[in-house]
């Protein structure tokens, strides 16, 4: 009988572990051989020498070298577990960091949950990773766990937690986090307060954002830029420009980020004079006009209706990207230069620049504004059939196609197009159809679109107004009254129409029937003179959509006090004769004001550039760039 040598359990376990370690190291990590020079880790290939010592330093080297290979990281994790080094917090910290950088959040979370009393740095690492990967709810949940377990957060915790709260649907979580920030005495830490400002601004709480900004101990450049950008993103461009100017007073030097936000604010307001002033400031401080700044300036020119200046800047740009090309295409489109927009798209393709979904939106808008139905269909078909994810049609492209078909009079085709859509039509799509029905006075189809809109977006007054206009144009005043009654019952309010004008760097805003302006008497006097002049050459007020229960004289008085007319009259009084009149209206320009501006441009020999919510109208010598198609 063969004698079997008895090996003590401790030795057997040691030999077993050593053998398993060698097996893991030789087989599992074989793919790492090309990355790591294992020859430097091994003393010799002589089997009589001791096995590789898997120390903490070895694993640290492995983790540093394999930070971009998910499978390798998992293999290293397995080795750490087999060697008993898992208790080394620095190794698991490094492993967790690498996993989060690779966006393997599922595995990273499992690893984190197995840690014993992780330090605040590890909590921060996990929260940061969730934020970076756009998983904001989970980031907030991890913070809640951290709070319940009594782990004291630091300033880095709140930098990322507040970022996460800013992306949640409601503000209550962010408000609760603010209370915690105050509790731990971190409310005056600059980077935490900056994130709080951005969060409150994003939810439209500009009062709170302004308070946090004004009460900062040190107003650094990052905080200024953050608040200015937040104001722009929330549609408060006037506040953004005021802050931009205050930076000089506070001794804060502008940089490229400040300038980009300021250009965006000018674009929102349509204020070319302010935009030119900002360009001067940029030159004064020697701010480099990189492609981001140039694109922002280009966008500003386009949105101010200065397409010639946009062209000149575009041609002088040393480098251009898809944003540059798309901005010019959209610029030509909304300024009534559809042919140039399509030519620019062809030129872009010849230069080998790949279009994105924004580019195609500009192309489709160009077709819509010019009534180019066949061309629009061709471009849309190319989007659908290309298979390119970057140009896959989104809901706004479908809305643009409905607008193109409907505005051109193909209402039934537009309706059938909606019914065949592979995605659920939203209020924008049905709103485009309703707008087309308003233009072509199709009561039946307009009623169908309106019924759907009243269910989906019952609080948006513009849809009720469009339907009311359809009924008014058809002379069905009883239905107009019903729409208005429904609005009153539901508390739906019509958006107040206003027009703004920039004069000597300042804004002047006019509402319909406005008599609050300091120059009100002069404005109405000038307007009466204009009306007499334009009537003498053929202008006839269009009173068809004015309230039916007032006499003709009152109807004309209502038309004559529209905000567009007041803005034009003010501009003629205050602007130099060689300056174009630039008016921005928050809603669509009405038919009567459109006709009025054509006649004024003819009698005064002045160019009028009118930007409404849809496009630009360039009035010159009695004609409009839209060719009466808008």
Average pLDDT over residues 229-245: 91
C-alpha dihedral over 574, 579, 583, 584, to 10 degrees? -120
> In percent, how much of the chain has pLDDT > 90?
60
Identify whether the C-beta of residue 267 lies closer than 8 Å to the C-beta of residue 611.
Answer: no
Q: Which of 515, 625, 495, 620 is nearest to 560 (CA)?
A: 515
Backbone angles phi, psi at 441, to 5 degrees: 55, 45
Q: Three-state DSSP class for 598?
A: helix
Tens digits of per-residue pLDDT, 531-580?
A: 999 999 999 998 776 665 555 666 677 888 999 999 999 999 999 999 99
pLDDT band of 91, cuts 50, 70, 90 = low
pLDDT band of 79, cuts 50, 70, 90 = low
Express the helix, strand and coil content of the chain in percent, nearest 5 each: 65, 5, 30
Provide Rg for the chain, Cα atoms.
Answer: 33
Average pLDDT, the chain: 85
Joined together, the tokens standing for residue 14 give 């040691």
| pLDDT value for 142 | 92
Backbone angles phi, psi at 248, to 5 degrees: -60, -45
Q: Output the pTM of the full model.
A: 0.80
**pLDDT surpasses 70 at 598:** yes
Alpha helices by DSSP H, listed for 36-154, are: 56-65, 70-83, 89-101, 105-113, 120-132, 136-148
pLDDT band of 82, cuts 50, 70, 90 = low
C-beta neighbour count of 108 within 10 angstroms: 23
Q: Which of 133, 69, 71 is nearest to 100 (CA)?
A: 133
- CA–CA separation, 297 vs 313, rounded Å? 8
Give Cβ neighbours of residue 276 (< 8 Å, ≥ 6 apart).
Answer: none
C-alpha dihedral over 373, 376, 380, 381, to 10 degrees? 60
Q: Three-state DSSP class for 624?
A: strand
Tens digits of per-residue pLDDT, 269-282?
A: 999 999 999 999 99
Joined together, the tokens standing for residue 313 give 């800047």
Structure-model confidence comparison of residues 310 and 204, the more confident one: 310
| pLDDT value for 549 | 53
Q: Residue with structure tokens 């250009």?
A: 263
Joined together, the tokens standing for residue 439 give 């233009």
Average pLDDT over residues 289-313: 96
Which residue ranges make up each domain of the chain? 394-495, 500-624
Residue 470 CA: distances (Å) to CA of 304, 540, 599: 31, 21, 26
- CA–CA separation, 513 vs 566, rounded Å? 9
Average pLDDT over residues 245-254: 90
394-495 CATH: 1.25.40
C-alpha dihedral over 460, 464, 465, 466, to 10 degrees? 110
pLDDT band of 42, cuts 50, 70, 90 = very low
Expressed in angstroms, the distance from the first to the final Cα of the chain is 104
Average pLDDT over residues 198-213: 90
């Amino acid at each position: 009988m063969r004698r079997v040598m008895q090996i003590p359990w401790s030795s057997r376990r040691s030999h077993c572990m050593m053998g398993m370690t060698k097996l893991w190291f030789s087989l599992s990590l074989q793919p790492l051989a090309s990355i790591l020079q294992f020859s430097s880790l091994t003393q010799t290939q002589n089997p009589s020498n001791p096995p590789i010592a898997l120390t903490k330093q070895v694993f640290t080297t492995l983790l540093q070298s394999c930070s971009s290979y998910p499978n390798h990281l998992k293999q290293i994790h397995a080795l750490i577990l087999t060697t008993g080094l898992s208790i080394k917090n620095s190794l698991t910290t490094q492993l967790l960091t690498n996993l989060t950088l690779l966006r393997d959040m599922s595995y990273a979370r499992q690893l984190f949950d197995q840690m014993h009393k992780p330090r605040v740095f590890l909590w921060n690492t996990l929260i940061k990773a969730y934020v970076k990967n756009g998983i904001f709810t989970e980031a907030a949940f991890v913070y809640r766990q951290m709070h319940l377990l009594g782990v004291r957060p630091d300033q880095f915790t709140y930098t990322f937690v507040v970022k996460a709260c800013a992306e949640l649907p409601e503000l209550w979580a962010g408000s609760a986090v603010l209370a915690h920030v105050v509790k731990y005495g971190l409310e005056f830490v600059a980077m935490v307060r900056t994130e709080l400002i951005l969060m409150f601004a994003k939810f439209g709480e500009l009062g709170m954002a302004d308070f946090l900004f004004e009460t900062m101990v040190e107003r650094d450049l990052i905080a200024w830029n953050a608040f200015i950008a937040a104001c722009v993103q929330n549609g408060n461009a006037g506040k953004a420009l005021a802050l931009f100017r205050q930076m000089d007073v506070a001794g804060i030097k502008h940089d490229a980020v400040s300038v980009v936000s300021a250009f965006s604010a000018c674009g929102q307001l349509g204020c070319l004079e302010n935009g030119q002033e900002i360009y001067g400031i940029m030159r004064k401080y020697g701010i480099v006009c990189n492609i981001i700044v140039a694109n922002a300036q280009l966008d500003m020119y386009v949105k101010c209706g200065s397409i010639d200046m946009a062209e000149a800047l575009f041609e002088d740009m040393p480098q251009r990207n898809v944003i540059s090309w798309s901005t010019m295409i959209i610029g030509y489109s909304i300024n009534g230069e559809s042919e140039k927009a399509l030519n620019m798209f062809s030129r872009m393709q010849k230069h080998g620049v790949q279009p994105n979904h924004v580019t195609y939106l500009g192309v489709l808008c160009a077709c819509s504004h010019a009534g180019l139905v066949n061309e629009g269909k061709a471009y849309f078909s190319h989007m659908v059939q290309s298979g390119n994810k970057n140009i896959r049609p989104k809901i706004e492209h479908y809305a643009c196609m409905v607008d193109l078909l409907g505005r051109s009079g193909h209402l039934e085709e537009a309706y059938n197009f909606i019914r065949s859509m592979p995605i659920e039509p939203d209020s924008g799509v049905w709103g485009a159809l309703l707008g087309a029905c308003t233009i072509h006075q199709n009561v039946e189809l307009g009623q169908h679109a309106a019924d759907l809109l009243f269910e989906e977006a019952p609080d948006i007054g513009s849809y009720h107004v469009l339907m009311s206009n359809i009924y008014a144009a058809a002379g069905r005043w009883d239905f107009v009254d019903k729409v208005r009654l429904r609005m009153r019952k539901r508390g739906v309010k019509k958006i107040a129409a206003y027009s703004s004008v920039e004069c000597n760097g300042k804004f002047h805003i006019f509402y319909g029937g406005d008599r609050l302006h300091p120059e009100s008497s002069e404005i109405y006097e000038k307007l009466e003179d204009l009306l007499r002049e334009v009537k003498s050459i053929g202008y006839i007020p269009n009173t068809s959509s004015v309230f039916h229960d007032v006499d003709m004289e009152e109807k004309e008085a209502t038309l004559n006090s529209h905000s567009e007319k007041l803005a034009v009259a003010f501009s003629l009084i205050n602007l130099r004769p060689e300056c174009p009149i630039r008016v921005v209206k928050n809603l669509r320009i009405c038919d009567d004001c459109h006709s009025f501006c054509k006649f004024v441009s003819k009698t005064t020999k002045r160019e009028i550039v009118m930007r409404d919510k849809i496009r630009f109208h360039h009035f010159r010598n009695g004609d409009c760039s839209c060719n009466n198609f808008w």
